Every structure is written in C-alpha cells, then in structure tokens.
Amino acid sequence: MSIRFDSEGKIFVIETANTEYAMKIEHDRFLTHLFYGKKGSEYPGKARYRSFSPYYQDIGEGFSLTDDYNEFAMFGSGDFRCTALKLRNSNGNCCTCFYYDSHEIITGREAIKGIPCARAQEGTETLVIHMVDNLTGCKLNLFYTVFPKHDIISRYFTLENNGTESVKIEKAMSICLDLPHHDFDMISLYGAHMEERNVQRTPVMIGNQRIMSRRGASSHQFNPFMALVSKNANETEGDVYAFNFVFSGNFLDEVEVDPNGATRVLIGLGEENFGYKLEAGESFSSPEAIMTYSADGLGRMSRNMHKFVRDAIVPRDPFKQRPVVLNTWEACYFDIDEKVLIDFGNEAIKYGMDMVVMDDGWFGKRLNDRAGLGDWYANPDRFPNGLADFVDRVKKSGIKFGIWIEPEMINPDSDLYRAHPDWCISCEGRERSLSRSQLLLDFANPEVVEYLKQSFKKTFDGVAIDYIKWDFNRHISEPGSPYLPADRQDEAIFRFYLGVYDLFNWFMETYPDVMIENCSGGGGRYDLAMMAVSTQIWTSDNTAARHRVHIQYGSLLAYPSYVMSCHVSNPMVLDDYMNLLDYKFKIAIAGMLGYELHILKMQDDVKNEIKKQIEFYRSVEQLIKYGDLYRLVSPFENKKGISSYYYVSTEESGEGYADRILLTHLQNEGARGENIVYNFKISEADSNATYKDSLTGKEYTGKQLNEGIEYVVSDKDMYGELWLFERV
Ligand code: GLA
C-alpha cells in the first residue's frame, strides 16, 4: 500500500520507493501540507502564526491559512500567497472556499476526460479527496496518483458544479506544493526556434517568479519542466524537486517565497490565458502535473523522469526497432518528385536505413509555404496515379514510408479556407495575423475536427503508410473561437487542445500500426502530453553540431533519449566533411537516429560511412533507448561546448545492469593550447568486473572505471569520442 490514512491523527501519507508526501485535515475542514521529501524524514514544524492573519471565528487565533502550509491554496481565503484555484461565483466575487468532505483510495487510476495522462504502473494507487463549497454547491476532487517505483506523484483536480448557478474558473493549477524552506535554485529550460531547451539555473528570490507560455503551445521559448534544487545540488548530490505538466498549450509554473521563508510551487494552466465557465450540472478536469524528489542530485531526478516517460507516458512503439529514417526536408524542401523519392528509398535501404519520409509539399497546392495547408489530398500533378500507387512503388525495395502533415493549420490560400473562413482561431472584429502565411483551425469546434478525420481517412485509407510526422508551425495569436459563445472565449485554447488530442487519439485508433513523430518547428511542443500521443519528437530544426550538443543535453535533463529524434544532416563544410559527419553521428546517438540529407548526391565513401554508423547504432540502440543516463560534463558550464555522458545498460535494455556502458565525449571547440583534463568517473561500472572497450580493445577493471579515466582534451574542434565498455 502506497497510500495510508491515519484516522486518528487525520494524516494522509503517500509513499514511493524513496519519497514520502504527507498532509493533514485540520479542524475537520482544512487540508494542510506536512511534508514532501526523503522517505523516513522527520516532518518539519508548522509555520509560525503571525499577526495580520485572518482567523476563523469558531477556531480563534492561532490557526490561519495565511502562514500555514496548504494543500490547495484558494483565492480570497486569507492565504495571501499565489493560489491554485480562483472561482468566480454568481454573486460576482471570487472568494473561493472548499472544505474537506470525504476521501477514497482507489487502485490504479482513472483517465482524465479528453486530456492525455500517465498510465497506471505496478503499485499505482490514487487518493481522491472530495471537498465541497456549500455556497456554490460545487464539489472539488483532488486526485493524487502515486507511481511508487518511479518516485513520481501526480496531481490534478476535477470540479463539478452541482449547484443551480454557473461559476467561472479563473485560475486552475494542478500542483500546489508548500516547502518550508527557501534556499533553492530554480532550473528551467528556455529557448527559441532552432535553440530549444537551454539550461538556466538561477537563485530563487523572496517574492513571486514565473515561467509560462502564452503562445498557445508549450513552446520553444519556455518548457513546462521546472526544478527547485538545493544550493549544493549537482549531478550526484543535493535535494531536487522537479515538476512537469502533461499539457501542450499555455502553462504557468509559479514559485513564490514568502517573507517567512516558505516556498510555494504551483504548476498548471494559470490565469492569464485561461478561464472556464461551468454551468450547473457541468464538470471540468484539469490536466495532470507530476513531481519527483531526488535526494541524490540531478542525475537521479532525470532518470526518474526518463523511466516514467518511457513506462507511463509514451503510448506505444509500433516497431521493434525505431526506424532509422531518411527525411527529405533538408534535401528537397518543397520539390516533391515521385521519381526522386523512389530513388531515395532504393538507395537508403542499401545503406541500412529503414524508412523514407516525404516531408512538406505533397498535398493540395503546396508548392511553397504560402498555400495548401488544410487541403489534405495528394497533389494530382505530383502523384498522377494517386498516393497509394506511389507509396507501393516506394516500398517495393522493402523500405518503409512516412509522410508529413500539419493538421491544426490552414493557409488563407486553400480550398478549405475559401469554403470555411469561419473555421479559424480568431477574435471577432480583429485582424487575423499570419505566421508563416498560416492561420490555425478552430479545433474547439468539433465539426472542424470531424471534417479533418474524414479528410485524412479519404486520403490515407488504403495507403501503406508506416509513419506520420505531425507538425505545428505557428503560435496562437487572437486566441478566440468563432464557434464558442462570448462568455466562453477564454476557453478557446484549452478546448482547442481537447480537439487536438481527440484527433491524435483518432489517428492512433484508426492507424494502430503507424508510428507518429511529433514536431513543432522542431521541438516547440516537447511536452509530456505530446509524448503521450506520439512515439518520438523531432528535437529541433537545428541540426548544426555546435547547437545540437546543447539542445540535446537540455532536452535530456527532463525527457528521455527514447523520445528524442536526432538526425545527422549534411555537413555543409567540404574540407572537414568526414570528421563532421562523424561528429554529427556521435551527437545524434544520444537519442533515436535518423538522417536528413540528399542521399542521391552523396559519394560512395560517405554512404559507406553512413552504413557503418547505422550498424554501430543498431548494436547500441537498446542501450541508448532503455539505459540509464549519467552526465559528466555539461556544455552549459564551459565555453567550449564540451559535453560528456554515458548510458549504462539495464534489464530493460535486454542486458544485465552495467553489462555495457557507452561513454560519449563531445567538444565543439578543442583545447586551443589550454590544458583541460577530465576524470570520467564511471560510477556505475561493476567494481568486481572487468570491461573491454570494444572500440579499442583496451581492458579496464570495473574499479579503474569507478575511479575514473583521465581524458586530456585535444586541440581538435568539432570532435567526438566514444567508448563502449563491455563486461568480459
Ligand atoms: C517544420 C519542421 C521541419 C519541416 C518543415 C516543413 O519547420 O520542423 O522539419 O517539416 O516544417 O515545412
């Protein structure tokens, strides 16, 4: 049992393998927070009661929500810190007040209506705490789901309006966590298109600080992942509390340290970009947020997250091995040509690739990025005998076939727009601003989603597609829905995502053998909800080695190699070509390998080299995909873009723990005369074993590896090295 209730002390305890979470019902109605952290720790004392704190007349001074640690802080309740729920009632005020009513503990978990969530794992239980508000007649249900083996606890809430009047949710946060101290650093991931997921570490200050997206997508700019870490935290030591949100739209990660020195963390939909009206009889479910705690630094935190994403988030892997794809985008752009693609397939398979992916440009009048989105039929000029016939011809060689789509989008220059100009996300009376010449379809309107299902069905049924690359190439301005009434306009983006997930689910059900790769101008929706409806995500449109080192390192902080799609693209430099090809490959095999180059223009020696790369990748694929990641050098902590890490085999990778270890060292810039020496400590090597580096033949004892291999950084720029230690 991972969840206990002590009915005498009125204390709930949720346990995972290494962590413990506790809360208490006070005065029969308030839910206060006691502890989250290392299992078996003593709980800290309560916050000191201070003056200027509103108290309840029946309880008297000495207890107030103002300074206490609260499980789900509510607006206007006398808790003056940032709050998790703000509800406007029919009287017009937002005083939000729910009292504990009852609770239940269920085995496993319930799905969340319309929104992806984690799947129950071995030992999963859910604590549901029911709270009521007598004034509005609303019922608030707090869900705590535990994933004991993963050291993960998730939270979300549902709100049922059982009253007679409508209410409006004006702020909705899924996690509300009070920690009794404040000496944290915050780690977050920021970026831009082509520069995703830079790691930022800043001291948490007294006051309020926020990371959020207002872009209608989880975005390249800020990722929903966030961690609070003790000042001494590094890869192997220190306290780390990490959070993430299972949603792809706007989000808010809010941290507030009060002047008493307590820290509140809120993760959820936020308030600025969200509102939701609940008529009498209606209910609302928030997305789920997750948290983990590691007493052993950042490395353990990442491994908790990685395993959780693999086991409980990513839905399925239709193929035994991830296909090594050859994507046409950087080779052909919009010049889609049947013959060239068939030749691509015939050539790709000779060199060990598994799939050719036809990117943008195959449909409607899509000859450039200004037209065609929304018209999901194969361009008859480009495919005179139809798509099915073309795909069959590509696949004759035995290669698999993938295709690009961007369902949420529409170009004003499209048949669909001409027929349904009212089907776009827009605000009445305002200009519809363009981005990449496109608008967004109003997925809050079920008719639009239904139309797309029929349209894709017509185009794809009977076509032997193995893979879909699902793109999303603009953010949401003028965030309104012509379909929704005036008093529901604040719901437009939230409901847009219900439509998006509906379409993803439809694809997965209709084409169960098709793998979905997610993309949003690269990694613009690199979030847990997208991971729950696809197998992997295109990490970034930027395939330049210099940037990839950072983008991938940042991505791996919160998300596993298992979802990280990494392509080797054409090294544009002629004089150092083979070295760069090698460097790009060594970078790419931190994740799932693919290629993005014009294979018909490659010379034989290059293609033979690629063949060797793929053979090597196949020999370590399971180790990379399911192995545990240990980071040694962060490219964000040196100026040369030096990054070193290793994957160690686990049972899931089909081997014994630490039977094989793949160590990677990458350097964008060489030593250039400096004396830079690292000691790569392979802590996970079995100290009783002997290992052989299968790339050099050199033997090491496990103890030697534990103590570290000395590595002197060479003068070479754009240079990588690999070691594959195998137990003898
Ligand atoms: C986005 C994707 C690219 C490519 C183009 C096609 O930018 O990230 O990989 O598919 O769209 O328009």
Residue of 473, 475, 539, 567 with the most ligand 1 atoms within 8 Å of its CB, for mutation:
473
Per-residue pLDDT of 165-203, as tens digits, reads: 999 999 999 999 999 999 999 999 999 999 999 999 999
**According to CATH, where is 2.70.98.60 located in the chain?**
3-313
Q: How many whole angstroms separate alpha carbon 526 and alpha carbon 359?
A: 20
Ligand 1 contact, 359 CB (< 6 A): yes
Which contiguous run of DSSP H or E holds residue 339?
A: helix 338-350
| CA distances for 416 relative to 372, 403, 413, 440, 444, angstroms | 9, 20, 9, 12, 17
Question: What percent of the chain is predicted at pLDDT more than 70?
Answer: 100
What confidence category does residue 316 fall into, taking pLDDT thresholds of 50, 70 and 90?
confident
Give the Å distance between the CA of 310 and the centre of ligand 1: 25
Which contiguous run of DSSP H or E holds residue 391?
A: helix 387-395
Q: How many whole angstroms separate alpha carbon 577 and alpha carbon 202?
A: 39
Residue 583, helix vs strand vs coil: helix
Per-residue pLDDT of 467-494, as tens digits, reads: 999 999 999 999 999 999 999 999 999 9
pLDDT at site 317: 85
DSSP state of 47: P
Query: Strands, E, within 331-375: which ranges?
Result: 355-358
Nearest CA to ligand 1 atom 4: 329
Count Cβ atoms within 10 A of the Cβ of residue 428 and give its class: 0-12 exposed, 13-18 middle, 19 or more buried.
Answer: exposed
Strands 184-190 and 222-230, how do they pair? antiparallel
Ligand 1 contact, 196 CB (< 6 A): no
pLDDT at site 1: 86
The number of helix segments (H) and strand segments (E) in the chain equals 12, 38
What the block records as the tokens of 287 is: 């997305």
Ligand 1 contact, 517 CB (< 6 A): no
DSSP state of 574: S
Per-residue pLDDT of 125-175, as tens digits, reads: 999 999 999 999 999 999 999 999 999 999 999 999 999 999 999 999 999
Give the Å distance between the CA of 471 and the centre of ligand 1: 7
Class of CATH domain 630-727: mainly beta
Ligand 1 contact, 360 CB (< 6 A): yes
Q: How many whole angstroms separate alpha carbon 609 and alpha carbon 669?
A: 24
The CATH number fitting domain 3-313, selected from 1.10.3720.10, 3.40.718.10, 3.30.1330.10, 2.70.98.60: 2.70.98.60
What confidence category does residue 264 fall into, taking pLDDT thresholds of 50, 70 and 90?
very high
Is 711 within 8 Å of 677 (Cβ atoms)? yes
pLDDT at site 47: 84
pLDDT score of 48 more than 90:
no
**According to CATH, where is 2.60.40.1180 located in the chain?**
630-727
Q: How many whole angstroms separate alpha carbon 317 and alpha carbon 535?
A: 6
Query: Looking at the annotation, which residues are catalytic?
Result: 471, 541
Per-residue pLDDT of 517-537, as tens digits, reads: 999 999 999 999 999 999 999
Ligand 1 contact, 405 CB (< 6 A): no
pLDDT score of 49 more than 90:
no
Nearest CA to ligand 1 atom 1: 521
pLDDT score of 105 more than 80:
yes
With helix as H, strand as E and coil as C, how does 48-83 read? CCCCCCCCCCCCCCCCCCCCCCECCCECCCCCCCCC
Q: Give the residue-averaged pLDDT of 49-55.
A: 92
pLDDT score of 67 more than 90:
no
The stretches of 353-445 forming alpha helices (DSSP H) are: 387-395, 415-419
